[in-house]
Structure 1
Amino acid sequence: MSWFHPILATATETETAEPSLVLAGVLLSLVIIYFASKIGGEICARINLPAVLGELVGGVVIGVSVLKLLVFPEGGMEATDSLIIQLLQSTANLTPTGTELVFESMSEVISVLAELGVIILLFEIGLESDLKELIRVGPSAAIVAVVGVVAPFVMGTAGLVFLFGLPVIPSVFAGAALTATSIGITAKVLAELGKLSSTEGQIIIGAAVLDDILGIIVLAVVGSLVKTGEVQISQIIILIISAGAFLIGTILVGRLISPFLISLVNQMKTRGQILITGIVFAFVLAYLANIIQLEGILGAFAAGLVLAETEKRKELEEQIIPVADLFVPVFFVCVGARTDLGVLNPAIPSNREGLIIASFLIVVAIVGKVITGFTVWGKPNINKLAIGVGMIPRGEVGLVFAGVGSASGALSPATDAAIIVMVIATTFVAPPLLKAVFKDETQEVVESEAN
């Protein structure tokens, strides 16, 4: 996965980007990114919606779709399209070539920061997961998780290929984006309803955690397929095996060396010893994943899982939060900023395909998860519909898929925007649906007791 390109090669021998102006542009871009993320996040938090949606919408507002404060050259934009560059031009004597070089260099730095953001995000998700609980999770949760990945992936990919005639690669990527489940959103709603410790709640949480792991493996496989540009069954099998082997292997090896790492940390006398050690471990595994043609986020997630089993887990979780607060919003705001929602304007005939694709993806995203609840066997008295509905929201995990797809160049603007719309729609609709499903269950219990 990469947000950037080796663009500095376009520089002439006599003129290069002025470092001070590049730094000025980066600093101004970060100010705008943080403002957008906090304002959007605060608004969503106050209306009981995930703050990450606010970060995405904030990125849309400052990006190519609205204000054009944060734009990127790989999206077809030029330096003169950026209001930040226009501000720099008004305060510095820049030539046209110099302006373009500053724009490209500035965009590359922001893209690298966004790349670090998603790696840290997956490291944090790994830290919050409990490997022992994952191992102990029941067969019901495992079945729900597998069906929740396979069903929407197959329906989405096949539908885009055969109904819409899209190429295989972008169809596979869009199908992969349908596999995710946001455990954070569902867990919050279940806690509010007092259902987190219920049988349904435990199955949902266990399945959502497994969904994340399966989804990350799917993302690693699909990301590698995008790099090669080919879809071959043998290649897919090799990639799946290598992704699974990498995840299992790093966890096993990591558990062997983690005592050494903790011992090393305990002997250190300087500040930030556990934080730096953890981040170095995550970066090393992310690097190893990259060099074997997998996604770096898989390595970061594996690092989080390994360190979550150590005595330093709680301390590391607390220390990684401010680091994540600094870098992760850059990723989500950049995802929104790169999304051109103008391609979904129904007034333009050529955009109507994107709207139809978005509607199709939303239907598949909901149906593909709802049916998972009805695959649970041996538990006749549970609320199967609630289990399926609890798996609907894509949230931040779905946005990771959208961001990777956008950065890879595998998705057309219409398909990219359609995936974003699907993520937003499922994340908005799931909490009220889950509340309604459990409310209906409560009413049925009361009525049966009255009778």
Structure 2
Amino acid sequence: MDILNSILTFIDYNFYISLFATIPEHVDTDTDTSLVLSSILLSLVIIYFASKLGGEICARIDLPPVLGELVGGVTIGISILGLLVFPEGMNTANNSLIMRFLQFSADVTPENIQTIFNSQGEIISILSELGVIILLFEIGLESNLKELISVGPQSVMVAIVGVVAPFVLGTLGLTYLFHVDIIPSIFAGAALTATSIGITAKVLAELGHLSSQEGQIIIGAAVLDDILGIIVLAVVASLIKTGQVEIFNIAYLSLSAAIFLIGAIFIGRLLHPVYVKLVNKMKTRGQLLLISLCFAFVLSYIAQIIHLETILGSFAAGLVLAETEKRKELQDVIAPISDIFVPIFFVCVGAKTDLSVLNPTDPNNREGLILAGFLILVAIIGKIISGFTIIGQPELNKLAIGVGMIPRGEVGLVFVGVGSASGILSKPIEASIIVMVIFTTFLAPLLLRSILKEPFLATQKQKIT
């Protein structure tokens, strides 16, 4: 949700702040705090159970485990069981089985249970964000900065085409084929530009293709896509608010993104000797892990305050530390931390997915489903053609590169949140964007599994032998 926090600076809406109300005077604060903790512990038990069950099932039928985590999230979320529900939209404590169980077992008043529900949702969302920060830090550690630089031109081309093609096709198609007003069309087209780097990176890692040339191009392009997505969202947000594009905001975001990434990598490389020396001199347990996480969190904080994504900071930190002699040791110690926090992110993405918009028997959904069919087609084609913009290099799996850019995931949901808050989107348009996000998020892991059948490392060993 860090993109949303950044963009709200431009569009000046207060709904996100008012979502979490102050605790009423008559509430017993000590009791309320203990019950919030209880609800979080119950939520984590359910999240871990759903992630492991879903992941194990998918692993045993030769599907990416991350898909199982997403499905597990959908199962326990608002769409099916209603165990893990977040205070977004019209959801209240009554929609959450955890809250109803807590109210029944602890005899909590309706006023208190709503406060607990709001607090629980906020804290779980923060843990989810921490999960994706750690995921991108781990992905940075597994990436190779020199290889990323070597595939830089290809990544830039893939990212630009992957943003421009779906945006233009989506906007023009909605305007001229479906006669949607221009500003909602532009917004829907902008939502098509997103790429979920977290989902794609996890799938590539599970398939053993993260260090392949295709994997490095996808990761580089996805990082650039995040930056371009922030800029596009800022432009559309200012267009919604003022009716005109604020050039200063575009220039500021573009410049700050370039300075941040280049500066973080350059300064980080200069500090390599200091980092290694500090870790080696410390005698307490966990020094490598904590010093490294501090570095990642500082870069994430800097990225956040200059209106970029926190994950760009953690990814840059991983890239920098991957060039030190502590890389392998750090990968080993970060893995258990990743196992704790990363599943929260993927399960929460699934839990926030509302499948009710897919119900064709509801007349209110039918127009949205028709529009969604068009958006899904554009979302897939627009990203796939980006992989084929790389000229030459016939050895590259260009289809895999394009497919790797397809999932919209949590990034697409942020677009929906901003559009919904602005009031610019009609119900059919909003539903169509949600359906597009759902479909692309679940489709990409399946397609990548079928396209990238053989792990990259295994292929390299066969070539050597």
TM-score range, shorter chain: 0.7 to 0.9
Q: CA deviation at 1:226?
A: 7.5
> Which residue of structure 2 lines up, in the alignment, with residue 392 of structure 1?
403
- Structure 1 stretch 126-135 or stretch 218-227: which is displaced more? 218-227
Q: Deviations over 1:155-189 (max 9, x none)?
A: 34554566444626742552222586935545766
The CA distance in 1 between the partners of 2:368 and 2:54, in whole Å, is: 25
The answer on whether the counterparts of 2:300 and 2:312 sit within 8 Å (CA) in structure 1 is yes
> Which residue of structure 2 lines up, in the alignment, with residue 339 of structure 1?
353
Correspondence for 1:318 among 314, 324, 332: 332
**Is 2:243 aligned against 1:236?**
no
**Is 2:191 aligned against 1:177?**
no
Q: TM-score, normalised by structure 2?
A: 0.81
Q: Return the letter of the residue paired with 2:70.
A: L
**Is 2:224 aligned against 1:214?**
yes
> Which residue of structure 2 lines up, in the alignment, with residue 113 of structure 1?
127
> Which residue of structure 1 lines up, in the alignment, with residue 433 of structure 2?
415
Matches for 1:351-390 after TM superposition, within 5 Å: 351-379=365-393, 382=394, 386-390=397-401
Q: CA deviation at 1:25?
A: 0.7
Q: CA deviation at 1:153?
A: 4.2
The answer on whether the counterparts of 1:149 and 1:179 sit within 8 Å (CA) in structure 2 is no
Give the RMSD, CA atoms, in angstroms. 3.1
The CA distance in 1 between the partners of 2:65 and 2:83, in whole Å, is: 21
Q: CA deviation at 1:399?
A: 2.5
Q: Which stretches in structure 1 are left out of the alignment for 5+ residues?
A: 437-451
Q: CA deviation at 1:312?
A: 1.1
Q: CA deviation at 1:352?
A: 2.2
Q: 1:383 to 1:185 in 2, by over 3 A?
A: same
Q: TM-score, normalised by structure 1?
A: 0.83
**Is 2:461 aligned against 1:427?**
no
The CA distance in 2 between the partners of 1:92 and 1:147, in whole Å, is: 55
**Is 2:25 aligned against 1:13?**
yes
The CA distance in 1 between the partners of 2:186 and 2:129, in whole Å, is: 22
Q: 1:134 to 1:407 in 2, by over 3 A?
A: same
Q: CA deviation at 1:93?
A: 2.2
The CA distance in 2 between the partners of 1:168 and 1:332, in whole Å, is: 29
Q: Return the letter of the residue paired with 2:135.
A: L
Q: CA deviation at 1:398?
A: 3.6
The answer on whether the counterparts of 2:165 and 2:382 sit within 8 Å (CA) in structure 1 is yes
SS in 1 for 2:192: helix
The answer on whether the counterparts of 2:384 and 2:402 sit within 8 Å (CA) in structure 1 is yes
> Which residue of structure 1 lines up, in the alignment, with residue 62 of structure 2?
48
The answer on whether the counterparts of 1:5 and 1:108 sit within 8 Å (CA) in structure 2 is no
Q: Return the letter of the residue paired with 1:15.
A: V
Q: 1:353 to 1:16 in 2, by over 3 A?
A: farther
Correspondence for 2:36 among 3, 18, 22: 22
SS in 1 for 2:91: coil
Identity percentage of aligned residues: 51
The CA distance in 1 between the partners of 2:358 and 2:319, in whole Å, is: 39
Q: How many residues align?
A: 424
> Which residue of structure 2 lines up, in the alignment, with residue 128 of structure 1?
142
The answer on whether the counterparts of 2:159 and 2:225 sit within 8 Å (CA) in structure 1 is no
The answer on whether the counterparts of 1:226 and 1:408 sit within 8 Å (CA) in structure 2 is no
Q: Return the letter of the residue paired with 2:436.
A: A
> Which residue of structure 1 lines up, in the alignment, with residue 95 of structure 2?
81
Q: Deviations over 1:236-268 (max 9, x none)?
A: 233122212211111112222232122111111
Q: CA deviation at 1:86?
A: 1.1
SS in 2 for 1:280: helix
The answer on whether the counterparts of 1:369 and 1:392 sit within 8 Å (CA) in structure 2 is yes
> Which residue of structure 2 lines up, in the alignment, with residue 440 of structure 1?
none
Q: CA deviation at 1:373?
A: 4.7
> Which residue of structure 2 lines up, in the alignment, with residue 261 of structure 1?
275
Q: Deviations over 1:16-43 (max 9, x none)?
A: 5511111111110111111111111111
The CA distance in 2 between the partners of 1:300 and 1:170, in whole Å, is: 29
The CA distance in 2 between the partners of 1:329 and 1:260, in whole Å, is: 33
> Which residue of structure 2 lines up, in the alignment, with residue 327 of structure 1?
341
Q: CA deviation at 1:273?
A: 0.8
Q: CA deviation at 1:276?
A: 0.7
The CA distance in 1 between the partners of 2:373 and 2:208, in whole Å, is: 27
Q: 1:225 to 1:264 in 2, by over 3 A?
A: farther
